[in-house]
């Protein structure tokens, strides 16, 4: 490693001018390098597409969406979905009635009804109609499948929507008629919000309203734009981990002292009542903390609460056995 080397903005090592130690280290490496081994090439320069490095318009908006998956917010077009489904649904109803009428026609013999090959060879009307039904039904199922998958997704969070709205207001990347963010009820977020809890939204709200107070923004990514706040992703993950871990650790350690103190007294009715209320209180705090810090489902919250109170009961049983 070059001791006199420094890194430029792109992370490429550069040497101080006139550094004699650089020449000495290069000669030393050549002396110990095996014969015939090619010299290692310098690492390639990192190519980064910045937001302000793209022209204003769809390129700038695309660069913003590419910086964070939270900005993968698009229109769902629920009205057009419904109109297409209703349209194809009624076409299929019409084909169904046409098929019933065709099979009740007096020209259709019993042989045509019992044999598809005979009907195709003699008339062929049912075959042509079934092809139309197949085509319409495939499109109907395709739209139904997409509508079903979109129905499972939710809209963007208030923080992500406000960030996108502020970007449109400050930069105006699109003309007014093409600004899709105004259709708030018709927007869908492609990133699942399963990991976005209330504390995450509260943290992001505090960072937006108090920039560079608790965490420093990535000024290189924002390129000095005062209207743009970009926080390092790794730092945000660490902060969220601390916010999640500290309360949970406190709830795991907190009940030890009061339960141990109660176990040292004589085992009376009041002592048992105090132990039960202590366990119940800390279990309720654990469930509330878990609900606020994460987004658990009901069965997950119930299972975690049962496991937590089970740990407290085992702890108390071990203490009582030792006292005996």
* Residue 238 predicted with pLDDT over 70: yes
Return the bridge partners of 188, or none.
74
Asked if 280 and 305 count as a contact pair (C-beta separation under 8 A), the reply is no
How would residue 278 be classed by pLDDT, with cut points 50, 70 and 90? confident
- Please give the model's pTM, rounded to 2 decimal places: 0.56
Taking only the tens place, the pLDDT of each residue in 149-208 is 888 888 888 878 888 898 899 889 999 999 999 999 999 998 876 556 666 667 766 666
User: In the prediction, which pLDDT does 295 show?
Assistant: 74
Give which of 48, 70, 13, 45 is closest to 222, Cα–Cα.
48
Taking only the tens place, the pLDDT of each residue in 86-104 is 999 999 999 999 888 887 7
User: In the prediction, which pLDDT does 124 show?
Assistant: 64
* Residue 116 predicted with pLDDT over 70: no
User: In the prediction, which pLDDT does 266 show?
Assistant: 76
Q: What is the mean pLDDT of the chain?
A: 75
Give which of 207, 217, 189 is closest to 70, Cα–Cα.
189
Q: Structural domain boundaries of the chain? A: 1-47, 49-231, 241-323
Mapped to the 3 state alphabet, what secondary structure does the chain carry?
A: CCCCEEECCCCCEEECCCCHHHHHHHHHHHHHCCCCCCCCCCCCCCCCCCCCCCCCCHHHHHHHHHHCHHHCEEECCHHHHHHHHHHHHHHHHHHHHHHHHHHCCCCCCHHHHHCHHHHHHHCCHHHHHHHHHHHHHHHHHHHHHHHHHHHCCCCCCHHHHHHHHHHHHHHCCCCHHHCHHHCHHHEEECCCCCCCCHHHHHHHHHHHHCCCCCCCCCHHHHCCCCCCCCCCHHHHHHHHHHHHHHHHHHHHHCCHHHHHHHHCCCCCHHHHHHHHHHHHHHHHHHHHHHHHHCCCCHHHHHHHHHHHHHHHHHHHHHHHHHHC
How would residue 277 be classed by pLDDT, with cut points 50, 70 and 90? confident
> Which comes out higher in pLDDT, residue 67 or 227?
67
Taking only the tens place, the pLDDT of each residue in 35-83 is 555 555 566 776 777 787 889 999 999 988 888 788 899 999 999 999 9
């Amino acid at each position: 490693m070059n001791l006199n080397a420094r890194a430029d903005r792109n992370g490429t090592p550069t040497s101080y001018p006139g550094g004699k130690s650089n020449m000495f280290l290069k000669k030393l490496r050549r002396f110990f390098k095996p014969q015939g081994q090619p010299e290692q090439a310098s690492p390639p320069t990192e190519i980064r597409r910045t937001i302000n490095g793209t022209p204003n318009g769809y390129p700038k908006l695309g660069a913003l969406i590419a910086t964070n998956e939270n900005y993968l917010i698009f229109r769902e077009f629920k009205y057009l979905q419904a109109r297409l489904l209703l349209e194809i649904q009624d076409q299929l109803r019409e084909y169904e009635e046409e098929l019933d009428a065709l099979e009740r026609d007096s020209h259709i013999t019993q042989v045509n009804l019992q044999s598809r090959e005979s009907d195709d060879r003699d008339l062929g009307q049912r075959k042509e109609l079934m092809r139309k039904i197949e085509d319409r039904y495939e499109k109907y199922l395709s739209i139904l499948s997409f509508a079903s998958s979109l129905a499972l997704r939710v809209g963007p969070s208030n923080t992500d929507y406000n960030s996108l709205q502020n970007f449109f207001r400050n930069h105006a990347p699109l003309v007014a008629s093409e600004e899709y963010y105004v259709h708030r009820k018709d927007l869908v977020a492609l990133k699942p919000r399963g990991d976005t809890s209330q504390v995450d939204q509260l943290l992001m709200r505090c960072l937006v309203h108090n920039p560079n107070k608790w965490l420093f923004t990535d000024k290189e990514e924002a390129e000095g734009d005062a209207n743009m706040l970009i926080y390092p992703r790794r730092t945000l993950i660490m902060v969220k981990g601390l916010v999640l871990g500290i309360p949970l650790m406190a709830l795991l350690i907190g009940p030890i002292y009061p339960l141990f103190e109660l176990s040292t007294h004589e085992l009376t009715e009041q002592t048992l009542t105090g132990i039960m209320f202590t366990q119940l209180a800390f279990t309720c705090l654990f469930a509330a903390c878990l609900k606020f810090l994460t987004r658990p489902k009901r069965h997950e919250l119930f299972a975690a609460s049962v496991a937590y109170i089970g740990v407290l009961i085992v702890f108390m049983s071990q203490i009582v056995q030792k006292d005996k």
